[in-house]
């Protein structure tokens, strides 16, 4: 199996922690030159020094705030580095009942997820086409398969990203480029802790009791780890995954009830 990414450049969104960071680690281990992306320069400086380096790799970072589209456009257009691999990963919005959500929140999250993704692919795909190799992986959510109650805005925008990605996968075929989505389920990250705390408070139960209820619907009987999700991301970025295109791959322990 060819998992060698030596000489390939990868940009990984939201990579200072969680699934993004775990994905960056895997890509570096496979030989890629990784650019970490997040909002905190201090954190990124610390993290980039921890990435594996075989002596031929050149890791770096880019400070970006996906809420600031002008900043994203400006910094991306100023890049002197081209990318073979793009991992789109953006933290989800705070939960809430959909009837109580403001239209402004929908707009903000749409820009962070869909519009930023569009800016990035428009900047990077021409180089991928010239190289005859490209991997675009979007880390979304199992809510693409079945909406999660209490995450109305997230459910809506994740669906939009999935549709955007499927369209893109059909339009840029024949250039060695693939576009796929990884759909995490309940994953041990700061995000899950935050959401579970909110749910437990609204249900007036303990977080421990809530987690037991959630795991009843997970056949594997456990929450996934960020590293397990990252393994799927990394494989999709590899040369061996060249025939996998335009698909949604749940990494959810069997939570999703759909085919």
Tens digit of pLDDT per residue, the chain (259 long)? 999 999 999 999 999 999 999 999 999 999 999 999 999 999 999 999 999 998 899 999 999 999 999 999 999 999 999 999 999 999 888 888 899 999 999 999 999 999 999 999 999 999 999 999 999 999 999 999 988 888 899 999 999 999 999 999 999 988 999 999 999 998 988 877 887 887 888 889 998 888 898 899 899 999 999 999 999 999 999 999 999 999 999 999 999 888 8
| Domain with 213 in it | 189-223
Q: Does one domain contain both 127 and 151?
A: yes
Cβ(57)–Cβ(31) under 8 Å?
A: yes
Helix (H, G, I), strand (E, B) or coil at 26: helix
Q: Does one domain contain both 179 and 236?
A: yes
Q: Does one domain contain both 181 and 245?
A: yes
Identify the pLDDT of residue 94: 81
Q: Does one domain contain both 200 and 174?
A: no
Q: Does one domain contain both 94 and 110?
A: yes
Q: Collect all residues with Cβ–Cβ distance below 8 Å to 153 and sequence separation of at least 6.
A: 93, 96, 98, 101, 105, 106, 109
What secondary structure letter does DSSP report for 127?
H
Scanning the chain, the segments in alpha helix (DSSP H) are: 18-29, 41-48, 69-77, 103-110, 116-131, 152-171, 190-203, 207-215, 226-237
Q: Does one domain contain both 126 and 14?
A: yes
Does residue 206 sit within a domain?
yes
CB burial class (10 A; 0-12, 13-18, 19+) of residue 5? buried
Does residue 4 sit within a domain?
no
Q: Does one domain contain both 214 and 181?
A: no
Residue 95: how many CA atoms within 13 Å on its side-chain side? Answer: 17
Its pTM stands at 0.94
**Phi and psi angles of residue 251, each rounded to the nearest 5 degrees, phi first:** -125, 80
Does residue 159 sit within a domain?
yes
Does residue 258 sit within a domain?
no
Task: Residue 153: give its domain's CATH number.
Answer: 3.40.50.720
Q: Does one domain contain both 95 and 203?
A: no
CA dist 205 and 185 (Å) reads 22
Q: Does one domain contain both 181 and 193?
A: no
* Residue 82 tokens, joined: 């081209």
The residue whose two tokens read 């990318």 is 83
Q: Does one domain contain both 101 and 157?
A: yes
Does residue 122 sit within a domain?
yes
Does residue 53 sit within a domain?
yes
Q: Does one domain contain both 174 and 213?
A: no
Q: Collect all residues with Cβ–Cβ distance below 8 Å to 63 and sequence separation of at least 6.
A: 37, 38, 39, 40, 41, 44
Residue whose C-alpha is closest to residue 245's, from 157, 118, 128, 136:
136
Number of domains comprising the chain: 2
Does residue 59 sit within a domain?
yes
Identify the pLDDT of residue 76: 97
- Long-range contacts at 37-45 (CB < 8 A, ≥ 24 apart): 37/11, 37/12, 37/13, 37/61, 37/62, 37/63, 37/64, 38/14, 38/63, 38/64, 39/63, 39/64, 39/65, 40/16, 43/16, 43/17, 44/16
Does residue 2 sit within a domain?
no
Identify the pLDDT of residue 64: 97
Identify the pLDDT of residue 211: 86
Q: Does one domain contain both 126 and 81?
A: yes
């Amino acid at each position: 199996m060819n998992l060698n990414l030596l000489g390939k450049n990868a940009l990984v969104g939201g990579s200072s922690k969680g699934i993004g960071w775990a994905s960056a680690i895997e890509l570096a281990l496979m030989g890629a030159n990784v650019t970490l992306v997040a909002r905190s320069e201090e954190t990124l400086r610390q993290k980039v020094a921890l990435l594996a380096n075989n002596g031929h790799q050149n890791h770096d970072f880019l400070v970006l705030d996906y809420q600031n589209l002008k900043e994203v456009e400006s910094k991306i257009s100023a890049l002197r580095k081209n990318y073979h691999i793009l991992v789109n990963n953006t933290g989800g919005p705070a939960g809430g009942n959909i009837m109580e959500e403001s239209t402004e929140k929908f707009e903000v999250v749409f820009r962070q997820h869909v519009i930023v993704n569009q800016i990035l692919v428009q900047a990077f795909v021409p180089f991928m086409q010239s190289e005859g190799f490209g991997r675009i992986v979007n880390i979304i959510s199992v809510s693409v398969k079945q909406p999660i109650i209490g995450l109305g805005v997230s459910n809506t925008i994740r669906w939009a990203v999935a549709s955007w990605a499927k369209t893109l996968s059909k339009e840029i075929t024949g250039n060695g480029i693939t576009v796929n989505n990884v759909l995490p389920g309940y994953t041990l990250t700061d995000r899950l802790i935050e959401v579970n705390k909110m749910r437990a408070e609204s249900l007036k139960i303990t977080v421990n009791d809530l987690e037991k209820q959630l795991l009843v619907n997970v056949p594997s009987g456990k929450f996934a780890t960020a590293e397990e999700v990252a393994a799927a991301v990394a494989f999709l970025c590899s040369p061996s995954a060249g025939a996998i295109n335009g698909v949604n791959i749940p990494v959810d322990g069997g939570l999703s009830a759909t085919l």
